[in-house]
Structure 1
Amino acid sequence: METLNSRILLRPRDPARSTSFYRDTLGLAVSREFPGGTVFFLGQGFLEVGGTGRAGPSPDMALWLQVRDLAAEHVRLRAAGAAIEREPQLEPWGLREMWLTDPDGVRIVLVEVPEGHPIRTDTR
């Protein structure tokens, strides 16, 4: 299969609340908007928030978002009132991670790849 584009589809219980969270609290940039939904940039992918869901999130699903400065994001998100589930910490596999949830309880893992880690590709 040749994949030309991809996105994660998220159907929140309250679309306006979740759109506000991803746009205003997390600070994701908007790729496009359409009646009933918003598509956000996620680095090399996209997140579409639209429609209305009923079931809630699966505990087996999480969004993994790499950031440049986890400590700065922690301070900013805490001040914005984000639901921080776990403070930033260095994991045994060498990544710095912090966990938070969106308004519906979708787990979001913010990750900083330290210098020298084998998956680090951006040397800035």
Structure 2
Amino acid sequence: MPGIDVDFICHRLAIHKEAKPVAQRKRKVGGERREAVMVKTQKLLNAGFIREVRYTTWLANMVLVKKHSGKWRMCVDYTDLNKACPKDSYPLPSIDRLRLMDKVFHHQIG
């Protein structure tokens, strides 16, 4: 990202050494979705948030989800990559636990 120190924004994933890279099969996108992908991808390229990468070992598909407004949200399916990463030793609390904490401390989570 232009203007931000690479050491600040770059992150290395911890992946199990025995994990084999997975390249997901390309999903077909047509019509309205294809146009949304082209527009969003070009916007991210122009902003410097993403760049073209060749010969990658891991390949994850993007997934389009329709928003309430009718526009498309572009997400990435990292299912295979997540399976190759070690579990967090300090997992996030469940939503039920957060709600209980909310009641105890008289705050509203919204």
> What is the TM-score normalised by the length of structure 2?
0.25
Bigger radius of gyration, 1 or 2? 2
> What is the TM-score normalised by the length of structure 1?
0.24
- More helix, by proportion: 2
- More strand, by proportion: 1
